[in-house]
Chains A and B, each alone.
Chain A
Amino acid sequence: MTARRLAAGGRIDRTRSLAFTWDGVPLSGFAGDTVASALLAAGVRVVGRSFKYHRPRGLFGAWTEEPNAIVDVTLGEVEEPDARATVVELCAGVAARGVNGRPSVARDAYGVLDLAHRFLPAGFYYKTFLRDWPRREARIRAMAGLGRVAGTPDPRRFASRSAQCDVLVVGAGPAGLAAARAAAASGLSVIVADDRFIPGGSLHWRAATIDEQAGADWAAATVAALAAQGVRVMARTTVFGAYDHGAYGVLERAADPPAGWAAERLWTVRARRTVLAPGAIERPLVFPDNDRPGVMSADAVLHYLRVYAVRAGESAVVATNNDSAYEVALALHAAGTAVIVADLRPALPEAARAATAAGLRVMANTAVLGTIGRNGVRLVDLGPPDATSARAATMRVAADLVAVAGGWSPTVHLASQSGFRPRWDAARTAFVADTLRGDQHFIDAADIAGALEAGHAAGVAAAGALGRTVALAAPRTPPPAAAAPLRALWRVPIRGARQWVDLQNDVTADDIALAARENYASVEHLKRYTTLGMATDQGKTSNVNGLALLAEATLRTIPEVGTTTFRPPYTPVTLGAVAGLRHGRLYAPWRQLPAHAEHAALAAEMREYGGWMRPACYRRAGEDAAAAVQREAAAVRGGVGLFDASSLGKIAVAGPDAATFLNLMYYNEVATLKPGRIRYALLLQETGVVYDDGVVARLAPERYLLSPSSSHTQGVLAMLERWHQTEWPQLRVAFHDITAAWATFVLAGPAARAVLAPFTDIPLADDALPHMAVAEGRIRGIAGRIARVSFSGERSYEVSVPAGYGLALWQALLAAGAPHEITPYGVETSSLLRAEKGYILIGTDTDGMTLPDDIGMAASLRSKSVDFVGRRSLLMPEARRPDRRQFVGLLPADPATVPAVGAHAIERTADGGLRSLGWVTSAFHSPALGRSIALGMVQRGRALAAAGAVVELYHLGRITRARVCAPVFFDPTGERLRA
């Protein structure tokens, strides 16, 4: 390895040496390095293996466009697969590993694949393995992927933020800073987002003098001035997506987050105007064997030299088709690298003069015709650009670096995401975006002077669009020398040699020609067929070269071929950051009951039911859940049980037209309900399907209280609001969800009244508070409510107090019930008790097809005359079919076996097959009956029940039998409700 770090210069801190490892080998770099610059300084040439052929690859770029240096990074417990070494800041202790090499990228056994490349062209897999794909797939899959993903949880925190501003400036290079400066001067709020470590962009490696300062100094001074004006300048911040109405997705990476802080934050920024100043990316040149380590972007070479003080080679060929490479050649030369310049253009441009003067060998009309070297460039063949054979080479030079300058592609991604189709500018030989579209100002400049001018103009224009003026002159810089035009040569016309276009995905110029030959001639077909631009670099360096080659191959112009539509994200975004705070409990927070702590103290088995954490049952030592449910159910029927029903919905409905409105909403008649009385009622969708059931209590003539099921409360409220506002706005009625304001407990069982009586001034005598009555009064001195409803079939009181008193009341009821052996019971027990009574559980016994008649509630359709929600749908032919599934009871032939919920009732078809008649919706062992019971929805179920028919039940290949019966197993006359 060669020491390539210069003794001085760069933006690194030579006083802070940082140790790291590369594929297990200890190396060191400096603070301010990236993993890539440290590897380059250490002389590491092979940093990756290509995806398909496992070719050795070296660094090509210096930033997010890098196609080759994909590495897995480990730092402490943080593991990041598929990081680009060019953007990972070096820190002490980082372990970086190359990907896609076995055992390493330096020595990769899969490298032999390249020997068979001739039989593995683009899309080869579509043409073979037609019969034995499963076997082949396993082999191919074994080689899939780049990095390795750890199976452990990612310890990093991610956050979600949002911001608004008048002007969002994307990019803090010369153009972006000039724009921000102008916009801020007008007094507008400005956010500048830049994805690099420090603002300034190319000013850190391209020479410039702005306002009599060195470019980098001007950038620093400008950023300081902006900050002083309150402009938020965000470094390490990528605007990755443009969305509707001025919204942008923005990812901010923390440099070194303190423990517990978010590693990355995803911002949603809403801007009134946006200045897009993201700069441009240098294109490679396409020539034979242009993928060897040592072939690098000329701009990246300059970047490494001036920012990291790393010389990319000892001896370089600078190959170019435009003027921008001459600064690179001179800088390399000054740093001690031997340099030859190969310029594709027929005559040397003005820009070559300085290079020639400095003693460099500069050759016009010269292309690279090939490179030689096993794991990196050793020799370079030069010759005429129109060479059709490698033998046309006129010169072979020793070089370990080929710096290629193929022209510039403006970063049009965000403009394209916003719906703008980039326009081909033949003079610039690039896709560009218009300077103004909608609320976006796009800056497109060929040099720093142009960037400053256009940036300033965009800032002024953005301010002007928002009614502000700018009293500030544009930054001044010396006028640039006249540039000679670029010469486009999309490939060297040598046949047979492999000329690479997409380095990561191994797409060659011949692959593109093949796609064209086979008529995959749309740019989207090309992309999909050859995988061009589909790698993790998203085609940043390959896109335009690929399009141009497709145009050549199909005898079309580049505008005729067009470009692909760019989509978010501009660069890959950490998934954890996209999710942000929506993780773990915050993904969908569940609700807790007011007496949650008491349930926990009683060792309740807590489960989630419709977003609420509720006790399923209360297990005692040595008891499983099933046994607990049996014990609790028996205790309710034998004495008294206590159930926390606080999650049950409570919607207050008030107004002079409350009765009229609710009668339009509910399937059942609720307008004739007398104050103080309660009715069970269904709420339908307009399609007639049962949406919810619950009790409707009329507290006063103009005041109702609805009790939707726990998981439907929000939905019912939304439904009431919508129907009121959109269909019957003339009715004077209002709704309020008071669920969270009340704690509600159910005392159920023969001893319920005895336990409750001492607590309240509400008369509990059966003539004062009969079944299905409600009364307001005091409970332990607190204003509350008692409703006599029952979901268990037992005498039952639903006691409600303000939520803050819930815990105390729960404790007091338990204490007062002790002489009666009061037993807390959970949701599963409640479900068993109601199943014994044949009460339906919405969403369990019903589904999205259930109509009222299916569950035995046909009366309202006949008796109600108002057009309640869903009424007309119940008159449709389908709703009146005689063979609908109906709610029934099922008595298993084996009383000791509980059938599986989800088992199907079946019949045999004439051809020996099975046909489903319906299914089991609930099933339990009933302690009251001492046998198994089930509920279900079965075709023509009521007729089968009347006939006492036996049906077969199918579950996972096994068949059992059950007798169909009416869906009420216990106390069919309801005596216990009143007992």
Chain B
Amino acid sequence: MLLIECPWCGARDEPEFTYGGEPAVRPGPATEVGDAEWTGYLYLRGNEKGAHRELWCHSAGCGQWFVMERDTVTHATIAVVRR
């Protein structure tokens, strides 16, 4: 069970948090974005083994979204940043 360092509240147990996927830059404007660029944003993932940047929300706490870099093999937290 992860111990996650919420950048606003401090270390809390995993069940307080919601995983939110990899951060992505939303392409736009819609009328100028090609199909490939759009579906890349929608569907393609880095899915790194090792250091992985991901969005988390302290959903049962402060409700804030933040970015965490986490090792997907050891589950060690590498960095946590307020957006």
Contacts and interface: CB of A to CB of B under 8 A. Distances in A.
Interface of A: 162, 243-247, 268, 270, 419, 686-687, 718, 721-722, 725-727, 729, 867, 871-873, 875-877
A727 B20 CA distance: 13
B70 to A, nearest CB: 10
A722 B75 contact: no
B38 A876 contact: yes
Contact of A686 (B3, B23, B29, B42): B42
A787 to B, nearest CB: 28
A726 B42 contact: no
B75 A726 contact: no
A726 B55 contact: yes
A958 to B, nearest CB: 40
Nearest to A721: B63
B65 interface: yes
Given A244-B1, A867-B29, A871-B30, A722 B57 contact: yes
Contact of B35 (A247, A725, A867, A876): A876
12 contacts: A244-B2, A244-B75, A245-B2, A247-B1, A270-B13, A718-B18, A718-B57, A725-B64, A726-B65, A727-B26, A871-B30, A872-B28
A873 B30 CA distance: 9
B83 interface: yes
Interface string B55-83: 10101000111000000001100000001
Contact of B30 (A419, A722, A729, A875): A875
B42 A247 contact: no
A725 B74 CA distance: 29
Contacts of A726: 23, 55, 65, 83
Contact of B83 (A244, A419, A686, A725): A725
A798 B43 CA distance: 41
Most buried by A among B2, B42, B74: B42
Interface string B7-40: 0000001000010100100111110010100110
Contacts of B28: 867, 872
A268 B15 CA distance: 12
A685 B23 CA distance: 16
Interface residues of B, number: 26
Most buried by A among B30, B63, B65, B83: B30
Contacts of A686: 42
Contacts of A727: 26
Given A244-B2, A718-B57, A722-B65, 14 more contacts: A244-B1, A244-B75, A245-B1, A245-B75, A247-B3, A268-B1, A270-B13, A419-B74, A722-B20, A726-B83, A729-B83, A871-B30, A872-B33, A877-B35
Contact of A245 (B3, B26, B39): B3
Closest 9 CB pairs between A and B? A245-B3, A872-B30, A247-B1, A725-B65, A244-B75, A867-B30, A871-B30, A243-B1, A872-B38
Contacts of B2: 244-245
A718 B18 CA distance: 10
Nearest to A874: B30
Contact of A270 (B3, B35, B38, B63): B3
A246 B3 contact: yes
A726 B81 CA distance: 13
Contacts of B59: 718
A246 B2 CA distance: 9
Most buried by B among A162, A726, A875: A726
Contacts of B1: 243-245, 247, 268, 270
B72 to A, nearest CB: 12
Contacts of B64: 725
Nearest to A724: B65
A867 B23 CA distance: 19
A196 B23 CA distance: 49
A415 B29 CA distance: 53
Contacts of A871: 30
A162 B12 CA distance: 13
Given A718-B59, A725-B83, A687 B3 contact: no
Contacts of B63: 721
A121 to B, nearest CB: 39
A860 to B, nearest CB: 13
Contacts of B38: 872-873, 876
